[in-house]
Amino acid sequence: MQIGNSLFLCEPFQALSAGAQHLYLCMALECGGRRQYTFPAKSMTKYGIPLRSSRRYVDELIENGFISCIESGRNTRTESKYEFRLDWKNQ
C-alpha cells in the first residue's frame, strides 16, 4: 500500500476526522504492502492512538469505504483482519 498526494487531496479523505486519517496512515505503514492486514491494539498504542477512540476511527473508515473488516476478532478475543478498499475513489 502506497500513499500518494492524491489521497490527501481527495474530498472523501479530507472529510474524515483527523483521528481517522491518522489511523489510516498508520495502517498503511503497518500493512507491509499487503491489502489484507491486522492492526492490533499494541500497534495502536505504538502510534499513540487512544484505544477508547480507535473503535470510532475504525468505524469511520469502514463507513466511508476506506477499509472493510473481513474477520472480526471481537467475540473470539483475537486480532481483527482488515482490507484496504480501492472503491472509495469512486464515491
Residue 68: what are its φ and ψ, rounded to 5°?
-135, 150
Q: How far is C-alpha 83 from the geometric centre of its chain's CA atoms? A: 8
Q: Cβ(28)–Cβ(61) under 8 Å?
A: no
Q: What is the DSSP secondary structure assignment for residue 66, as one 8-state letter?
A: S
pTM, 2 dp: 0.87
DSSP E strands in the chain: the ranges are: 36-38, 67-71, 81-84
The yes/no answer on whether domain 5-90 falls in CATH 1.10.10 is: yes
pLDDT in tens, 16-54: 999 999 999 999 999 888 899 999 989 999 999 998 999
